[in-house]
Structure 1
Amino acid sequence: MFAVSTYCLHREPLGTALEKLASISGSVEVMDDGLHYIDTPEILLSYSFSYSIHAPSRGVNIASLLEPIRKASVQVTDECFAIAAEVNAPVIVHPGYFTWVEEREMAERQMLKSIAELCSLADDRGVRLTIENMGNWDYFFLRRPDELPLIDGAGFTLDIGHAHLNGCLPEFLIHPFDHIHVHDNDGTTDSHGAVGIGTISFPPVMAAIIRERVTPVIEVETLEGVMESVRALGL
């Protein structure tokens, strides 16, 4: 069993994307951003998919030192929780970032405050919250396994492409995870390529997926890449 992220069709309206994915998988992760931003569960309820939702990430920062922006980021994410509760979907959240290296400690405190608030809000709505590791962007949190204690209380989404960019995928794979994003790259660019075009070794990834009993979410750039990945992984 596998799921497909709507990321592969993010240049098309969400309804079109869901229609195209209906013949490929019964499980979909909605990238709640851009053309796929959702402010009502109506379109999701019109299909019989099993869902997960990637909360808005491009315009929010749960680690912002600007308190109105941090609070608004939590509010936007809670609005995503409300929709997720209607379709029984777990929600994936980015950990936020700091603008200047000198502000890291202060931003970390802001992130921890946001995570505590989000865990409480998710619990109130009966939604499973997981937080995703980030790629090789200097100012993001949760790039390496030694930062996992920062998200204590929330679940963990392992993005194998991001971990590979930071040269620590094997170290991440030994840790438990609740959700996983699968895509490939050459170790230098977050290309979200089809499985097999990059330099990730997938047998250890598949072994960890089996160990953790999670459904792999194919999160690649194109629909063709989704199908290539499914074939390469034997799903």
Structure 2
Amino acid sequence: MSSLPVIGAAMTLGELEVHRNWLFEKQRDLELQDFTTADVLNGDWTLLAERARKLLDGFEGRLGIHGPFWGFTIASNDPDIRAVVAKRLKQGLDVCAAIGATQMVAHSPYTTWSYNNLDNNKGEPERVVEHVHLTMRDAVKQAEDIGAVIVLENIEDIDQHVRVALADSFNSPAVAVSIDTGHAHYAHGSTGAPPVDYYVKAAGNRLQHVHLQDADGYADRHWALGEGNILWPSVFQALADLTSNPRLIVEIKDKSKIPASVEYLASLGLGQ
């Protein structure tokens, strides 16, 4: 990325109505977060999709969604659970097709417990990958068919490499890597993981999506940028070495502070 990156944001449709002018002025990337729950995906979400299309008339930025994640892992060893998760992923991709989204965020299966135990039982790392493939194989094919990419976001991941290897194992352009800066910083501060910039370096050009949130290394704060203690210059220096042009998405609790978060990055000469 040779020039200062244009920073996007994650929000719901209601919040999009508030920030629409800010989003459109630089055609910032957008991640919609209305389609994560079972009640929405099992209901008539087409009304939300129609609302999204109207609000985004004239939008030229890259559009994605946060996919479903509540209450499950993509690496369940129970085939009945895998069937439900596969259904949810399909529903999320159906939404992508309906609104023209080209990216869907899914959560990593790797936990703090698994970091210490993957090598405790023979063949366990391979079984995790197998279970993820059994869960996601139809979704990956669907994503390929509609021109979308499923990006795997770190949650509790301590090992910054294992999720990248999981994405690579699909050998598909429809599976790539996401990083959440606050999740990485939590893992660094609380569970001995490396700092955030190491996650960026490990992902390399497999990285296609970043959740930007600030934190204190203790919890998943989703604070506005500048309110925590993430070392943003090191993160953006690592990003500057990439050619994959990942979507840089501010994902914070207080959506009124989205513009201020980008202004903070601009004050550091890191983004616009």
TM-score if structure 1 supplies the norm length? 0.83
Q: Helix, strand or coil: the match of 2:22?
A: coil
Larger Rg: 1 or 2? 2
Question: Is contact 2:82–2:134 with CA below 8 Å preserved after alignment?
Answer: no
CA displacement at 1:37 relative to structure 2: 4.3
CA displacement at 1:108 relative to structure 2: 4.4
Question: Is contact 1:2–1:25 with CA below 8 Å preserved after alignment?
Answer: no
What does 1:129-168 align with in structure 2 at a 5 Å threshold?
Answer: 129-135=150-156, 142-147=157-162, 148-152=164-168, 153=170, 154-167=175-188, 168=194
CA displacement at 1:97 relative to structure 2: 5.9
Partners of 1:65 and 1:97 in 2: how far apart? Answer: 14
CA displacement at 1:19 relative to structure 2: 0.6
For structure 2, the 5+ residue unaligned runs are: 1-5, 189-193, 267-271
Which of 8, 20, 33 in structure 1 is aligned with 2:36?
Answer: 33
Question: Is contact 2:38–2:88 with CA below 8 Å preserved after alignment?
Answer: no
Partners of 2:95 and 2:183 in 1: how far apart? Answer: 27
Query: 1:94 maps to which residue?
Result: 107
Partners of 2:9 and 2:135 in 1: how far apart? Answer: 28
Partners of 1:151 and 1:15 in 2: how far apart? Answer: 30
CA displacement at 1:89 relative to structure 2: 2.5
* Aligned pairs, number: 222
Which of 220, 227, 230 in structure 1 is aligned with 2:252?
Answer: 220
Query: 2:7 maps to which residue?
Result: 2
Partners of 1:22 and 1:226 in 2: how far apart? Answer: 12
Partners of 1:84 and 1:199 in 2: how far apart? Answer: 34
Which of 185, 203, 214 in structure 1 is aligned with 2:215?
Answer: 185
CA displacement at 1:36 relative to structure 2: 10
Query: 2:91 maps to which residue?
Result: 79
2:51 matches 1:43: yes
Query: 1:157-204 CA deviation, whole Å, 9 max, x = no partner?
Result: 111111111222232121321111101101011001111111110012
Partners of 1:37 and 1:227 in 2: how far apart? Answer: 28
Partners of 2:71 and 2:50 in 1: how far apart? Answer: 23
Alignment-mate amino acid for residue 107 of structure 2: H
Alignment-mate amino acid for residue 32 of structure 2: V
Question: Is contact 1:209–1:216 with CA below 8 Å preserved after alignment?
Answer: no
TM-score if structure 2 supplies the norm length? 0.72
* Worse-superposed segment, 36-45 or 19-28: 36-45
Question: Is contact 1:74–1:118 with CA below 8 Å preserved after alignment?
Answer: yes
Q: Helix, strand or coil: the match of 1:88?
A: coil
Query: 1:10 maps to which residue?
Result: none
Question: Is contact 2:110–2:155 with CA below 8 Å preserved after alignment?
Answer: no
Q: Helix, strand or coil: the match of 1:33?
A: coil
Q: Helix, strand or coil: the match of 1:96?
A: coil
* Percent of aligned pairs sharing the same letter: 23
2:136 matches 1:123: no
For structure 1, the 5+ residue unaligned runs are: 7-13, 136-141
**What is the aligned-residue RMSD (CA, Å)?**
2.6
